[in-house]
């Protein structure tokens, strides 16, 4: 599977939304929910991988900095790095939480849209089925009169 960047996924999602079939008399569009959900999953995977990498880099940088300095400066550097590292980890966790919340909103919207579209399709099929049934009955009545 090709590794997509978050921006590529968002661009593709935007194109899908822009090119989706317009629903008459509304601002809604018909889009491929499976494709949108796939893009959301890819975004989530990329963000989680980036968070893991940033944590690994932060840990490696912290370890390298500690090993290169004297014990007294190590203590000073450790005190300086800990808030920065903690802030970076906190920000990474916030970004992941935001992305997950946004992904859930998009999934919920996609599910709602799919349900709405299927309901409209169901109603259309019911009406079409009634028209076909009436047509068949009319043909049978005409055939019975002619016989």
Does 139 map to a domain? no
* Residue 101 near residue 89, CB atoms below 8 Å: no
| DSSP for 34-92, written as a single string | HHHHHHHHHHHHHHHHHHHHHHHHHHHHHHHHHHHS-HHHHHHHHHHHHHHHHHHHHHH
pTM passes above 0.75:
no
Domain limits at 82? 6-107
Mean pLDDT for the stretch of residues 88-100: 86
Does 67 map to a domain? yes
Does 142 map to a domain? no
Interval 1-55: pLDDT, tens: 346 677 888 888 889 888 989 888 888 888 888 888 888 888 888 888 877 877 8
Does 45 map to a domain? yes
Total of domains in the chain: 1
Mean pLDDT for the stretch of residues 60-70: 58
CA distance 36 to 110: 8
- At residue 21, φ and ψ (nearest 5 deg) are -65, 130
Does 100 map to a domain? yes
Interval 53-63: pLDDT, tens: 778 777 766 66
């Amino acid at each position: 599977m090709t590794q997509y960047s978050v921006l590529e996924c968002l661009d593709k999602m935007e194109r899908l939304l822009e090119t989706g079939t317009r629903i008459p008399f509304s601002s809604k569009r018909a889009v491929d929910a499976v494709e949108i959900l796939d893009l959301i999953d890819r975004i989530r995977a990329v963000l989680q991988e980036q968070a893991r990498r940033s944590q690994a880099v932060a840990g490696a940088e912290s370890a390298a900095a500690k090993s290169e300095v004297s014990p007294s400066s190590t203590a000073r550097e450790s005190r300086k790095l800990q808030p920065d590292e903690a802030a970076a980890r906190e920000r990474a966790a916030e970004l992941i939480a935001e992305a997950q919340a946004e992904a859930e909103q998009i999934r919920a919207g996609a599910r709602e849209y799919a349900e709405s579209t299927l309901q409209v399709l169901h109603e259309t099929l019911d009406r079409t089925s009634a028209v076909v049934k009436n047509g068949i009955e009319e043909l049978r009545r005409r055939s019975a009169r002619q016989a």
